[in-house]
């Protein structure tokens, strides 16, 4: 079995048919990652995490410019996030804003988006994107999606996913094991042998050493009708739910209404089986293809990832920029920093909503190394860097202690 290529992704000269392409951006999540910055009512996609100060959902939506027109882009999010969506994406049309009455994981999300896409284009190809990842450069990302669309045009039964070449033996991501390349002309498109759950670090190291594994980036391209057929095949109960929802979607589209406003839709969707699209379809389906992602990617799933992103940004040494790092490896965002015999700490101070224009706080580090310091208007976190498991336990402790106001 051939190893993953490290060269730029091969792209066919064939022109994909973009007249039928729609895209859906998934903006779910509970908001507990990156606590105390990320909260239930303002989760990661809506935070100004990128080096230029933008939110990841705004960047994801804009990244489709020149590839999918705004009128064929959908965003799925929880109903409570409607004000955040309106603020982050003022250009998003109301009919393209799909507000879930409750979270049911990604399979129901994808099924709903597929039905909506079919109202726009009867033979719709659907691009499915997470809203909370860092991707660069945008042009390379668009070229990779264009190639994925071409692969689906070539065989409408294909399910195409984009895989990221691992840079470290991480236990934070799912993995995709590859089989043979599709052809000599496309050495960076592979048949998928199987999907692997998040492994322990030693297993992840073995995956990487084999040269046959990608990280699963959760970026997919497929025909809308095909994914609905496979949901019905592998998850008949869920398929039946969306067979009942389909006429509601068609009626709403014909009358210029939002599907989510229909009481029958709210009832059906709320009772839909909670399951991810990976479990429901991808791990069972035939003809799944993974295309090597030739762009830089990070899911920004921890403060370590955020620090890495800010430090690697070209603006990180610019006065007045979001992040400044000193000679001892201390990084500060939103604060002035002075360090005395202190190394390798990450400090992040968020402006208070009550006093957004206050003078930047001075944070002094003395005789400490490798700290994580995050301050919001109502919480201060001080922790050792790199212990994400402890941070998860802390969030669980807040839940069990009944301190929901801080979640």
CA distances from 43 to 67, 114, 254, 288 (A): 27, 25, 33, 31
The confidence score (pLDDT) of residue 355 equals 60
Residues 6+ away with beta carbon under 8 Å from 119: 249, 250, 253
Residues 6+ away with beta carbon under 8 Å from 372: 303, 345, 346, 381, 382, 383, 384, 385
CA distance 81 to 77: 6
Residues 6+ away with beta carbon under 8 Å from 72: 21, 22, 23, 117, 120, 121
Q: Are 158 and 138 in contact (CB under 8 A)?
A: no
Take residue 73 and report the two structure tokens written for it: 């882009």
The confidence score (pLDDT) of residue 386 equals 85
The confidence score (pLDDT) of residue 4 equals 58
CA distance 245 to 239: 10
Which pLDDT tens digits describe the chain residue by residue (407 residues)?
445 544 444 445 456 778 899 999 999 766 677 999 999 999 999 999 988 889 999 999 999 999 999 999 999 999 999 999 999 999 999 999 999 999 999 999 999 999 999 999 999 999 999 999 999 999 999 999 999 999 999 999 999 999 999 999 998 899 999 999 998 888 899 999 999 999 999 999 999 999 999 999 999 999 999 999 999 999 999 999 999 999 999 999 999 999 999 999 999 999 999 999 999 999 999 999 999 999 999 998 889 989 988 887 644 443 344 667 888 999 999 899 999 999 999 999 987 766 656 678 899 999 999 999 999 999 999 999 988 888 989 999 999 999 999 99
The confidence score (pLDDT) of residue 322 equals 60
Query: By CB neighbour count within 10 A (0-12 exposed, 13-18 middle, 19+ buried), where does 59 fall?
Result: buried
Read off the pTM.
0.91
- DSSP three-state, residue 26: strand
The confidence score (pLDDT) of residue 15 equals 61
Q: To 10 degrees, the CA torsion angle through 85, 89, 91, 93?
A: -30
Quote the DSSP letter at residue 343.
B
Name the superfamily (CATH) of residues 18-298.
Answer: Spore Coat Polysaccharide Biosynthesis Protein SpsA; Chain A (3.90.550.10)
DSSP string, 51-70: TTS--HHHHHHHTTTTTS-G
The confidence score (pLDDT) of residue 351 equals 78
Tell me the average pLDDT of the chain: 90
CA distance 47 to 61: 15
CA distance 9 to 407: 42
For residue 242, count other CB atoms closer than 10 A to its CB: 24
Tokens 């043979």 found at: 180
The confidence score (pLDDT) of residue 149 equals 97
Residues 6+ away with beta carbon under 8 Å from 44: 29, 31, 33, 34, 38, 56, 132, 300
The segment(s) of the chain belonging to CATH 3.90.550.10 are 18-298
DSSP alpha helices (H): ranges in 282-382?
Answer: 303-312
Q: Are 137 and 303 in contact (CB under 8 A)?
A: no
């Amino acid at each position: 079995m051939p190893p993953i290529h490290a060269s730029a992704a091969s792209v066919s000269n064939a022109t994909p048919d973009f007249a039928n392409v729609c895209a859906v951006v998934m903006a779910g999540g509970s908001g507990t990652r990156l606590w105390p910055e990320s909260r239930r009512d303002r989760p990661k996609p809506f935070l100004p995490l990128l080096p230029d100060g933008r939110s990841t959902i705004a960047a994801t939506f804009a990244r489709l410019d020149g590839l999918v027109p705004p009128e064929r882009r959908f965003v799925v999010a929880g109903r409570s996030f409607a004000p955040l969506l309106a603020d982050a994406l003022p250009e998003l049309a109301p009919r393209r804003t799909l507000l879930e009455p409750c979270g049911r994981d990604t399979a129901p999300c994808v099924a709903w988006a597929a039905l909506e896409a079919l109202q726009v284009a009867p033979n719709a190809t659907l691009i499915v994107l997470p809203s909370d990842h860092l991707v660069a450069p945008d042009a390379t990302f668009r070229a990779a999606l264009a190639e994925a669309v071409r692969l689906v045009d070539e065989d409408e039964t294909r399910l195409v996913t984009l895989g990221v070449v691992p840079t470290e033996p991480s236990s934070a991501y799912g993995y995709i094991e590859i089989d043979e390349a599709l052809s000599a002309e496309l050495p960076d498109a592979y048949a998928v042998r199987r999907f692997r759950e998040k492994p322990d670090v030693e297993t992840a190291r073995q995956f990487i050493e084999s040269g046959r594994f990608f990280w699963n980036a959760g970026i997919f391209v497929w025909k809308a009708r095909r994914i609905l057929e496979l949901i019905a095949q592998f998850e008949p109960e869920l398929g039946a739910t969306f067979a009942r929802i389909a006429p509601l979607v068609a009626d709403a589209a014909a009358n210029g209404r939002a599907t989510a406003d229909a009481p029958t839709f709210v009832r059906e969707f709320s009772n839909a089986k909670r399951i991810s699209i990976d479990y429901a379809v991808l791990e069972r389906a035939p003809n799944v293809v993974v295309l090597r992602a030739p762009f830089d990617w990070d899911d920004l799933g921890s403060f370590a990832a955020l620090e890495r992103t800010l430090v690697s940004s070209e603006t990180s040494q610019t006065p007045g920029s979001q992040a400044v790092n000193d000679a001892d490896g201390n990084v500060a965002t939103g604060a002035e920093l002075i360090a005395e015999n202190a190394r390798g700490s990450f400090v992040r101070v968020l402006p208070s909503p009550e006093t957004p224009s206050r003078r930047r706080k001075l944070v002094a580090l003395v005789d400490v190394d490798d700290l994580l310091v995050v301050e919001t208007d109502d919480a201060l976190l001080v922790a050792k860097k790199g212990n994400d498991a402890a941070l998860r336990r802390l969030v669980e402790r807040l839940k069990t202690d009944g301190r929901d106001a801080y979640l």
